[in-house]
Structure 1
Amino acid sequence: MQLNYLALAVPLFLAFMGLEYVIARKTGKNYFSFTHSVTSINTGIAERLLDTFTVGIFYFVYDYLYHHFAIWHIQPSILLWIALLLCTDFIWYWYHRLAHEVNVLWCAHVVHHQSEDFNYTVSARITVFQAFARTGFWAVLPILGFPPAMITSVLLVHGLYPFFIHTRTIGKLGILEYVLVTPSHHRVHHASNPQYLDRNYGDVLIVWDKLFGTFAVEEEEPVYGLTKPLDSNSFLWQHFHFILELMYAVRRERGWKQKLKLVFGKPDYIDPEIRNILEQKYLLRNSTVPAVRRLNDYVIWQVAVTLLVLFAFLLLEYYVPAMVQVCITLLILLTLVNIGAILEQRKWVFYLEYSRIILLFIAVFYWWPSPALLFIATLAQLVAFFFRTNIKQHYLRLVYGAAS
């Protein structure tokens, strides 16, 4: 039986998140908030899901560049593995630094910095946009002559380390602070304190920051999140708000020179009032409904089931037909949007629920094309059509409480 054992990363990382949560509770420190943890995990679910389809594309890019443009053809050895790790970390430093200094790259990276928490869940806040941006930088590796398989192996190892530095439960690490990126260093990077901004870009080694003048020591307690807090749990808004802000800012400018200056300039060039304008236009919240326990319970249940489906999907991906893969992918993405909309207490979540049911039926019917199943689905559709108003009201009361 052919299984994708990389799927085991899902329960492994969840176990570390749970362990950190228990330690934080036992030490009386409030490192976790419900909404920030949920939205961070949801972002990680989306990235890990879409990685299933993109990792092959990235490997193809490395392979194509290696066979057509490689300056040298490097043969693996211990020293060259170390050299590749150093090159990978060096390139990461510059990608990471430019992702904070160039608006078009900040569009992909901003999601990682939105949480006002700092814990292992924040390490999951990686988008597929960021994965594409990083690949553009790492594409220099096969041109230098490193084989694609070698690059992919190092990237897997290199990608594990940053998970463990997203924590407040570990203090300073003595002599390691001089060489490695530690949790203390990375807390500085995620802080919005003025003296901590644009500091500590390293991923594994802190030496690059010290070499290029972007290093800062953790002194006062960091305040986490963006300098202008996002204040939204919407999955879609978290992913696209800065893209919209940049587009709006570019549209307001006259002349290509000014427009390009915004696209490739610093995030500081974007007028902060633009977000307020866009929030009033696109981010209409239902603030009249108080959050109730059943709402949080429903969100937790959806996240738990989604993680279980994701794990099974990744583990058994070689046995899942393409059509079912598409349905499961859309179903999970709709669920993530749905969770964000529920946390925002929006009433149109009812239609997302309806869409999820339809997708689930399509997947099941494709796998098991039974006339009886088709009859039941048709009957359910008729009931939903004639009683849609009552069903919608009952659903909203069930999720949001009597006030809805």
Structure 2
Amino acid sequence: MHEKIITFASPVFFLLIAIEFLVARKRQKHLYRINDAISSLSLGVMSQITGVFLKLLSVGAYAWVFNHFSMLTLDPGSIWVWISCLLLYDFLYYWLHRMGHETNLLWAAHVVHHQSESYNLTTALRQTSTGQLFGWVFYLPLAIIGFPVQVFVAIALIDLLYQFWVHTEQIGKLGWFDRVFVSPSNHRVHHAVNDIYLDKNYGGILVIWDRLFGSFIEEQDGEPVVYGTRSPLRSWNPLWANLEVYKAVWQDAWHTRNWADKFLIWLRPPGWRPADVRHLSQAQQFDLARPLYDPFVSKAAIGYCLLQFVALLQAATYFLLAYKSMSALNAVVYATWLIFSLWCIGGLIEKGRVYLIPESLRLLAILLMTILSANWFYSYALSVTGQTLIAAGCVISIVALCFIFLPKNTHGHLPH
């Protein structure tokens, strides 16, 4: 249900993104960079794809605890059950979110959401693909109390959908609303790397938890928010975005000689390192005035990547709606191709023709599958018209790929 609602809500998301883009342009605030937006949206798509498999862990664990250890069986037909579940869920989300900034293990997943150096509605869709590995533990008290699985899943979705609209710079302060609820103003603070704002405002729907537990700060007029992370990602690679912190912490855990530190490092705050490995690399000095990560890529290359992403979005939507009718092998193969495709698109935006061969292989695989099997990943029979359109799209894409990304000689002709 979760992924289907997100899928059906996507047109609304994109409509609001378009409105925000137009409003920002009218106000002479050019908040959108296509490379950054594609990166954020790619990470959102990837999180939905991996969520298809990881929800078996998160929702499955909740259901198992509910069936075996619940103290009560609360009535899903009662409005008070829903209201109390929403309040308790938001309270537990606050602590999950806070621990996501205070422990390496959870920060390694949550960092994805903070990596963008821009702040707009595409940032809201920039989600981790590994958050469900450990985050579900925080919500088990709801299962023990006795909130049914369907209530838990629905409330989790409500809490997630609420947070979409607060990722914007186009809405200013809202008076009393800012003092009770999470709003664009106090959530901008949460995404800041300024010293005064760092690690504040963790609430999901209600900001009163921050006020109660001392983690609230108001957005200051004299302190413009700077977005990103203290260790900038500087990449459009969606796989690396999900793995960079895991790799760094794992390397320190591997190299330290202290066996306690090998385990405790995962529970330490981000940036903490065992004493005997600090010499292996020097910590980078953070510059608040650093230039935004924006490697040059031609307009033609950006246009190609944007069109490929739009086409891939349709393929991902089909996967999220139809995966239950696929065999397990087909679902894994399809998901792998989608993630590989997102990796290729991010690579083309970042490094250009270095990713020419992987992208060509991706397109050739679809072309051969379409021609030889007349099926879309053996889950949907293609008509002759469908085959023709997909094959033509692949051929045109390969030609455009070569024309845009292959280096040209001094006479303006493609090299042999």
TM-score by length of 2: 0.82
State the AA in 1 paired with 2:297. A
Aligned to 2:11: 11
Aligned to 2:237: 234
- Corresponding pairs, count: 376
Counterpart of 1:218 in 2: which secondary structure? Answer: coil
Give the drift of 1:339: 1.1
Task: Work out whether 1:109 is the aligned partner of 2:110.
Answer: yes
Aligned to 1:32: 32
Task: Work out whether 1:326 is the aligned partner of 2:351.
Answer: no
- Structure 2 stretches lacking a partner, 5+ long: 285-293, 385-397, 410-414
Judge which range, 75-84 or 20-29, deviates more.
Answer: 75-84
Aligned CA distance change for structure 1 residues 171 and 299 (closer, same or farther; 3 Å): same
Q: Distance in 2 between matches of 1:295 and 1:199?
A: 38
Give the drift of 1:61: 1.9
Give the drift of 1:393: 12
Q: Distance in 2 between matches of 1:348 and 1:45?
A: 23
State the AA in 2 paired with 1:215. F
Aligned to 1:165: 166
Task: Work out whether 1:120 is the aligned partner of 2:121.
Answer: yes
Aligned to 1:255: 258
Aligned CA distance change for structure 1 residues 352 and 161 (closer, same or farther; 3 Å): same
Q: Contact conserved, 1:39 with 1:235, CA < 8 A, in 2? A: yes
Task: Work out whether 1:206 is the aligned partner of 2:207.
Answer: yes
State the AA in 1 paired with 2:66. Y
Q: Distance in 2 between matches of 1:165 and 1:107?
A: 23
Deviations 1:138-157 (A, max 9, x none): 12211121111111111111
State the AA in 2 paired with 1:171. G
Q: Distance in 2 between matches of 1:275 and 1:128?
A: 29
- Structure 1 stretches lacking a partner, 5+ long: 278-286, 374-391
Give the drift of 1:47: 0.8
What are the residue-to-residue correspondences of 1:52-131 with 2, within 5 Å? 52-76=52-76, 77-131=78-132
Q: Distance in 1 between matches of 2:143 and 2:40?
A: 32
Q: Contact conserved, 2:101 with 2:269, CA < 8 A, in 1? A: yes
Q: Distance in 2 between matches of 1:89 and 1:80?
A: 14
Q: Contact conserved, 1:335 with 1:356, CA < 8 A, in 2? A: yes
Judge which range, 41-50 or 125-134, deviates more.
Answer: 125-134
Aligned CA distance change for structure 1 residues 137 and 18 (closer, same or farther; 3 Å): same
Judge which range, 190-199 or 33-42, deviates more.
Answer: 33-42
Give the drift of 1:202: 0.5
Q: Contact conserved, 2:7 with 2:317, CA < 8 A, in 1? A: yes
Give the drift of 1:251: 2.5
Q: Contact conserved, 1:327 with 1:363, CA < 8 A, in 2? A: no
Aligned to 1:221: 224
Q: Distance in 2 between matches of 1:168 and 1:201?
A: 18
Counterpart of 2:250 in 1: which secondary structure? Answer: helix
Aligned CA distance change for structure 1 residues 363 and 59 (closer, same or farther; 3 Å): farther
Q: Root-mean-square deviation (CA), in Å?
A: 3.2
More helix by share: 1
State the AA in 1 paired with 2:30. N
Counterpart of 1:305 in 2: which secondary structure? Answer: helix
Deviations 1:109-150 (A, max 9, x none): 111110000111111111121133322211221112111111
Counterpart of 1:163 in 2: which secondary structure? Answer: coil
Q: Distance in 2 between matches of 1:106 and 1:258?
A: 17
TM-score by length of 1: 0.84
Q: Distance in 1 between matches of 2:322 and 2:266?
A: 41
Give the drift of 1:367: 5.8
Q: Contact conserved, 2:182 with 2:203, CA < 8 A, in 1? A: yes
State the AA in 1 paired with 2:312. T
Task: Work out whether 1:243 is the aligned partner of 2:246.
Answer: yes
Give the drift of 1:307: 1.1
Q: Contact conserved, 2:63 with 2:143, CA < 8 A, in 1? A: yes
Give the drift of 1:34: 2.1
Q: Distance in 1 between matches of 2:352 and 2:176?
A: 50
What are the residue-to-residue correspondences of 1:349-360 with 2, within 5 Å? 349-357=355-363, 359-360=365-366
Counterpart of 2:265 in 1: which secondary structure? Answer: helix
Q: Distance in 2 between matches of 1:26 and 1:272?
A: 50
Counterpart of 1:213 in 2: which secondary structure? Answer: coil
Aligned to 2:270: 267
Task: Work out whether 1:23 is the aligned partner of 2:23.
Answer: yes
Q: Contact conserved, 2:182 with 2:204, CA < 8 A, in 1? A: yes
Q: Contact conserved, 1:324 with 1:363, CA < 8 A, in 2? A: no
Q: Distance in 1 between matches of 2:135 and 2:183?
A: 22
Task: Work out whether 1:51 is the aligned partner of 2:48.
Answer: no
Q: Distance in 1 between matches of 2:65 and 2:328?
A: 28
Aligned CA distance change for structure 1 residues 173 and 342 (closer, same or farther; 3 Å): same
Aligned to 1:138: 139
Q: Distance in 2 between matches of 1:272 and 1:81?
A: 52
State the AA in 2 paired with 1:50. T
Q: With CA pairs under 8 Å and 6+ residues apart, which has the higher RCO, 1 or 2?
A: 1
State the AA in 1 paired with 2:358. L
Q: Distance in 2 between matches of 1:292 and 1:275?
A: 35
State the AA in 1 paired with 2:61. V
Q: Contact conserved, 1:248 with 1:274, CA < 8 A, in 2? A: no
Q: Distance in 2 between matches of 1:272 and 1:144?
A: 48
Give the drift of 1:325: 3.0
